[in-house]
Amino acid sequence: MATVTGYVEKIKYRNDENGYSVLSVADGKEEYVLVGTFAYIAEGERIEATGRMVEHSIYGEQLSVESYEIKPPEDTLAIERYLGSGAIKGIGAALAKRIVKKFKADTFRIIEEEPERLSEVKGISERMAMEISSQVEEKRELRQAMLFLQQYGIHMNLAVKIYQQYGQRMYSVIQENPYQLADDIHGVGFKIADEIAAKVGIFTDSDYRIRSGMFYALLQAVGNGHTYLPREELFASAAELLKVDADYMEKHLMDLQMEKKLVVKEKDGGMIVYPAQFYYMELNTARMLHDLNIRDTVPPEKIRKRLESIVAGEQIELDVHQEEAVIEAVNNGLLIITGGPGTGKTTTINTIIRYFEQEDMEILLAAPTGRAAKRMAEATGYEARTIHRLLELTGAPSMDSGRNGNGSTGGETRLEGMHFERNEANPLDADVVIIDEVSMVDISLMHSLLKAVNVGTRLILVGDVNQLPSVGPGNVLRDMIQSGKFPVVMLTKIFRQAAQSDIIVNAHKINAGERVPLGKRSRDFLFIRRDNPAAIIKDMMVLLRDKLPGYVGAEIQEIQIMTPMRKGALGVEQLNRILQENFNPPAADKPEKEAGGTIFRTGDKVMQIKNNYQLAWEVRNRYGIPVDKGEGVFNGDMGVIRQVNAFSETLEVEFDEGRMVEYSFKQLEELELAYAITIHKSQGSEYPAVVIPIYSGPRMLMTRNLIYTAVTRAKKCVCLVGLPEMFQFMVENEMEQKRYSGLKDRILEIGPGLDK
Residue list, annotated binding site: 342-346
Closest CA to 437 of 526, 515, 373, 481: 373
> What are φ and ψ of residue 561, in 5° steps?
-85, 130
Q: Which residues of 513-541 are buried (b: 16+ CB within 10 A; e: fewer)?
A: eeebebeeebebbbbbbbeebeebbebbb
Q: Which residues of 185-196 are buried (b: 16+ CB within 10 A; e: fewer)?
A: beebebebbbeb
Axis crossing angle, helix 190-200 with helix 207-223, rounded to the nearest 10 = 160
- Which segments are annotated as binding site for ATP? 342-346
Edge-to-edge strand list for the sheet holding 363-367: 384-386, 363-367, 432-435, 458-463, 334-339, 488-491
Q: SS3 sequence, 272-340? A: EEEEHHHHHHHHHHHHHHHHHCCECCCCHHHHHHHHHHHHHHHCCCCCHHHHHHHHHHHHECEEEEEEC
Which long-range contacts link 632-636 to residues 24+ away (Cβ below 8 Å)?
632/388, 632/393, 632/418, 633/608, 633/659, 633/661, 634/369, 634/386, 634/388, 634/608, 635/471, 635/472, 635/608, 635/609, 635/610, 635/611, 636/369, 636/471, 636/607, 636/608, 636/681, 636/683, 636/684, 636/685
Where do the H-state alpha helices sit in 484-590? 502-512, 533-542, 548-552, 572-583
Amino acid at 385: R
Sequence length of the chain is 756
At 196, is the secondary structure helix, strand, or coil? helix
